[in-house]
Amino acid sequence: MLFARIVSGATVNKSTSFSSDYATARLRFRHAANCLGWTLEPHSIGCLGPNGEDLTIDVAWSENGSPERTLVISSGVHGVEGFFGSAVQLAMLEQWATRGAPSVRCVFLHGLNPYGFSWLRRFDENNVDPNRNFLLEGEQYQGAPVGYAELNGLLNPRRPPSRWNPFFIKALLAIARHGMPALRQSIAAGQYEFPQGLFFGGAGPTQMQQLLHRHLARWLRGSRSVVHLDFHTGLGRSSACKLLIDYPLTTSARAHLTDWFGADSIEACDSDGISYDARGGLGRWCVSRRLASEYLFACAEFGTFGPIKVLAGLRAENHAHHWGAPGSASTVHLKQELKELFCPSDERWRLNVLNQSLRLVSQAVDGLNQS
Ligand SMILES: [Zn+2]
């Protein structure tokens, strides 16, 4: 297939699609989608950004291409990780503007957590981790993993930040005591008991979930096959990519993912690797809605820094957000540090993850074309 080969060959040698802030990223995304003649639909979340700008989730889709085969690309579920996901979306749109768009329908969900994106947080306007919020019908927004309550004081101190911060020492002691896999599971699997804490899954569906509940079926109407890549950063070896699957795979879904992306790229929830069993993931929720005969969802996760460093940054920002002075030099500094942890400014990292992402997207398009 000549067209697929053209798409597969696309790479970039500059990381100019990374934006400096949410407002710029949003503007560039909308402009690029407009240039391709895509339909745009902004959804305000009723909050303002640091410069008083309206915060929106922006959805754009192509009107041409086979509606039976749909590629979904989403960014910014984890707010600050949107700098990377948005760069991938923009790079794709810009490439397609010059090389021609793929022959499948595309639906791009930009900045799904615009509050976290603009205010440099992983969490949303209610401190909810959106990727712990997508519980299925009948599941309760209650409970915490074994060990979280014990670690709560270390993770979520309830006092103003001070200079003396022995977090690293205490974290190393906790690793020595519990082991890294158990600790990771306790901390990051998702909790519903500590509303100001890290990895809080909320008390009910977030705006993001409600929006997808209302509109996703419409955006995907007529789809037989869907491939949905949801871009994330902060887990795994620096710039290494894994496609994380948080739902049980059918035999044919596993075969398609393996054929299209390579067996080594996939990490299913029943295998050992960098991930852990989290509650309330977006992928399992999307797949459970049966919006297409085959809905393949993968969280495309790219590593940045080591797990303790990332956790320390999340903890420090969350602590400052709730207990520090808003807008103070130290709070601003910690938020900038969080951005660096999830979207390193290093040019080699940026180019590397961008080109791997472009390859993933073209593999998804090629796969859809075969389906
Ligand atoms: Zn993430």
| DSSP structural state of residue 169 | H
Q: Which residues of the chain have pLDDT under 50?
A: 1-8
User: Which is it for strands 39-48 and 241-245: parallel, antiparallel or unpaired?
Assistant: unpaired
- Per-residue model confidence (pLDDT) at position 180: 83
- Per-residue model confidence (pLDDT) at position 1: 37
CA of 300 to the centre of ligand 1 (A): 9
CA of 5 to the centre of ligand 1 (A): 30
CA of 342 to the centre of ligand 1 (A): 9
- As a whole number of Å, the CA-based R_g of the chain is 20
Taking only the tens place, the pLDDT of each residue in 108-127 is 999 999 999 999 999 999 99
Asked if 48 contacts 309 with a C-beta cutoff of 8 angstroms, the reply is: no
CA of 25 to the centre of ligand 1 (A): 18
- Per-residue model confidence (pLDDT) at position 273: 66
The greatest distance separating any two alpha carbons of the chain, rounded to the nearest whole angstrom, comes to: 61
Domain 2-120+205-307+340-370, architecture per CATH? 3-Layer(aba) Sandwich (3.40)
CA of 14 to the centre of ligand 1 (A): 24
CA of 78 to the centre of ligand 1 (A): 5
- Per-residue model confidence (pLDDT) at position 274: 62
CA of 340 to the centre of ligand 1 (A): 14
CA of 264 to the centre of ligand 1 (A): 20
User: Which is it for strands 266-268 and 241-245: parallel, antiparallel or unpaired?
Assistant: parallel
CA of 354 to the centre of ligand 1 (A): 16
Q: Measured between alpha carbons, how far is residue 226 from residues 6, 61, 256, 284, 342 in Å?
A: 21, 14, 12, 14, 28
Report d(CA 267, CA 264) in Å as an integer.
Answer: 8
CA of 180 to the centre of ligand 1 (A): 19
Asked if 204 contacts 215 with a C-beta cutoff of 8 angstroms, the reply is: no
CA of 66 to the centre of ligand 1 (A): 30
Report d(CA 232, CA 92) in Å as an integer.
Answer: 16
CA of 164 to the centre of ligand 1 (A): 29
- Strands across the sheet with 225-238, in order? 39-48, 54-61, 104-110, 66-74, 225-238, 294-303, 241-245, 266-268
- Per-residue model confidence (pLDDT) at position 9: 53
CA 176 to chain centre: 30
CA of 260 to the centre of ligand 1 (A): 23
CA of 223 to the centre of ligand 1 (A): 26
SS3 call for 61:
strand
- Per-residue model confidence (pLDDT) at position 126: 98
CA of 100 to the centre of ligand 1 (A): 30
Domain range annotation of the chain: 2-120+205-307+340-370
Residues with CB under 5 A from ligand 1 (ion): 78, 81, 232
CA of 79 to the centre of ligand 1 (A): 8
Contacts 24+ apart (CB under 8 A), 247-254: 247/281, 247/283, 247/284, 247/287, 247/288, 247/297, 252/294, 253/294, 253/296
Q: Measured between alpha carbons, how far is residue 183 from residues 81, 155, 186 in Å?
A: 23, 12, 5
Burial of 60 (0-12, 13-18, 19+ CB in 10 A): buried
* Cβ-based neighbour number of residue 65 at 10 Å: 18
CA of 268 to the centre of ligand 1 (A): 16
CA of 98 to the centre of ligand 1 (A): 30
CA of 230 to the centre of ligand 1 (A): 9
Asked if 90 contacts 27 with a C-beta cutoff of 8 angstroms, the reply is: no
CA of 81 to the centre of ligand 1 (A): 6
CA of 123 to the centre of ligand 1 (A): 10
CA of 171 to the centre of ligand 1 (A): 21
